[in-house]
Homo-oligomer: A and B are copies of this chain.
Amino acid sequence: MTDGTQAPGTPHGLPGLLDTEAIRKDFPILHRTVHGGKPLIYLDNAASSQKPRQVLDAVNEYYERHHANVHRGVHILAEESTALYEGARDKVAAFINAPSRDEVVFTKNASESLNLVANMLGWADDPYRVDSRTEVVITEMEHHSNIVPWQLLAQRTGATLKWFGLTDDGRLDLSRIDEVITERTKVVSFMLVSNVLGTVNPVDEIVRRAQEVGALVVVDASQAAPHMPLDVQSLGADFVVFTGHKMCGPTGIGVLWGRQELLEDLPPFLGGGEMIETVTMHASTYAPAPHKFEAGTPPIAQAVGLGAAVDYLSGIGMERIAEHEHALTAYALGRLAEVPDLRIIGPVTGEDRGATISFTLGDIHPHDVGQVLDEQGIAVRVGHHCARPVCLRYGIPATTRASFYLYSTPAEVDALVAGLEYVRGFFG
Contacts and interface: CB of A to CB of B under 8 A. Distances in A.
Interface of A: 28-29, 32, 34-35, 40, 42, 44, 47-48, 50-51, 56, 59-60, 63-69, 72-78, 108-112, 114-115, 123, 140, 143-149, 151-152, 156, 161, 163, 243, 245, 250-254, 268, 270-276, 278-281, 283-284, 295-302, 367, 370-371, 373-374, 378-383, 386, 388-389, 392
A131 B323 CA distance: 55
Contacts of A383: 72
Contacts of A34: 76-77
B111 A108 contact: no
B44 A301 contact: no
A74 B374 contact: yes
Contacts of A115: 270-272, 295
A385 to B, nearest CB: 9
A283 B388 CA distance: 12
A73 B60 contact: no
A281 B148 contact: no
DSSP majority for the A interface?
Answer: mixed
B74 A252 contact: no
A297 B48 contact: yes
B29 A75 contact: no
Given A72-B381, A110-B296, A149-B270, 15 more contacts: A74-B382, A75-B379, A75-B380, A108-B296, A108-B299, A115-B295, A147-B271, A151-B283, A161-B281, A245-B300, A250-B252, A251-B297, A251-B301, A278-B388, A279-B388
B65 A109 contact: no
Given A144-B276, A273-B111, A152 B78 contact: no
A268 B152 contact: yes
Given A56-B64, A268-B152, A44 B69 contact: yes
A151 B389 CA distance: 38
Contact of A379 (B68, B147, B295): B68
Nearest to A268: B152
B297 A75 contact: no
A124 B202 CA distance: 39
A160 to B, nearest CB: 12
A74 B367 contact: yes
